Structure formats: C-alpha cells, structure tokens
Amino acid sequence: MSDEDKENGMAKRTQVMGEAFVARAMSGVDGFNAPLQDWLNEHAWGSTWQRDGIDLKTRSLVTCAMLAALGRSHELKGHVRGAIHNGASLVELREVLLHAAVYAGAPAAVEGFRVAREIIDELGLAVPPLEEKR
C-alpha cells in the first residue's frame, strides 16, 4: 500500500465514521492486527469508499443493510453513525432496515432495529412520529 492510499483511506474513514470511531479502531493496532487495519484502509476506505457512482449516504445505507442482513451488530453500530453523519435520515435508515427484513429475515431486522435505536438514543435524535397508516 502506498502512503497516499493509506492517507486517503484514513481521511475517508474519518470523514465517514468520525474521529472518535477511527481513534478507537486504531488504538488497538498491534503486530497481530496491523495487517488487517492496513488492508481495510487500503481496500475498503482507500479504494471502495473513494469510488464515484453512488454518494456517501447511499453507500452508508447499503452498508447498513448488508451488515443487518449478516447480523454484524458491532460493525452496524458504527455504520449507523456513519449513515447519519453522511446525511441519512432516520426514516431512510428505518426503510433500509425494513427492506433488509424481507430479504434477510425477521431476526436480522429485529437486531438491526435494536442496534440502530441504541445509536439513535445515544445521539439524542428525535424519532419520527408514528404514522397514522401502518
């Protein structure tokens, strides 16, 4: 990995996930897991997240859907924050998680909603009012 790729990857990772998240992720880097963090910074953040074609909000929402489908709650928490940081509304996030339920199953959706609500509450965001017609 070039120094430029590493710098671009860290910059995009920080832009999407926030400084605190990246600092936590990088604080545990050691001789065992450094290759993984380098790979993530090069391939996920330094390449894929840098691509044109879809905006960061869409990329974040797609990532949330996939993480919910896979039941990857720990990673989903960070990417819910990232999606909100990238301009996704709570309604958009809700609809992506509901859509994931159809294709990934109810348990994945329940876990996705639970994780998203934890972050929504932690951030102190106002939840949209209940819709009349459900």
Assess whether 29 and 58 both reside in one domain: no
Which of 32, 51, 70 represents a domain boundary (last residue)?
Answer: 51
Return the pLDDT at 47.
Answer: 87
What is the pTM (predicted TM-score) of this model?
0.85
Phi-psi region of 29 (alpha: psi -120 to 50; beta: other; left: phi over 0): beta
Residues 99 and 122 in one domain: yes
- For every residue of 102-121, DSSP letters joined together read HHH-HHHHHHHHHHHHHHHH
* pLDDT band per the 50, 70, 90 thresholds, residue 133: low
Amino acid at 76: L
Average pLDDT over residues 98-126: 92
Q: Do 61 and 122 share a structural domain?
A: yes
Alpha-carbon gap, residue 60 to 4, rounded angstroms: 23
Tell me the residue range of the domain where 6 lies.
Answer: 1-51
> What token pair was written down for 22?
């990246």
Q: Based on the domain organization, do 62 and 24 belong to the same domain?
A: no
**102: nearest Cα among 68, 63, 74:** 68
Domain count, the chain: 2
Residues 58 and 122 grouped into a single domain: yes
Token pair in block for residue 123? 């951030």
Residues 10 and 32 both lie in one domain: yes
Q: What is the CATH number for 63?
A: 1.20.1290.10
Residue 134 predicted with pLDDT over 60: no
Q: What are phi and psi of 27, to 5 degrees?
A: -70, -25
